[in-house]
Amino acid sequence: MSVNRGNRPRSKMTPRERHLRSQLNQLISSKALVHGTLLYRERSCGRSTCKCTQGEKHPALYLVVREERRQRQVFIPKFMEEEVRLWVAHYQKMKQLGEDLSRICLKRIEKREI
């Protein structure tokens, strides 16, 4: 008896499953992804004549990531903010697509379909 390794022919997929798989493949193959959370913080620049020494601190964006069970914050320069936001959004979209596909596969298991 041969075992199907989850490679279901497109003809046997629902339109929803085909659509999700297509979106996921496009996202993974053509977009940058980063798993992390964006965080705004206020900081001082260190110049003695700057307004931040009077309490009006500079807003700064950080990417919070986990590496080897430890949290790390990576400063995102202004010129990279838009791009990094996109990368985080791409990861979130990929994660959501994966969850949606997982639910479809779970239903197939429950119905004893392969």
Helix (H, G, I), strand (E, B) or coil at 7: coil
Q: What is the mean pLDDT of residues 36-55?
A: 88
Query: Residue 5 pLDDT > 80, yes or no?
Result: no
Task: Pick the range with the lowest mean pLDDT from 1-5, 20-24, 57-61, 81-85.
Answer: 1-5
Number of H helices and E strands in the chain, helices first, is 2, 3
In whole numbers, what is the pLDDT of the chain averaged over residues? 88
CA angle 92, 96, 101 (to 5 degrees): 150
pTM: 0.77
Cβ-based burial of 87 (10 A; exposed 0-12, middle 13-18, buried ≥19): middle
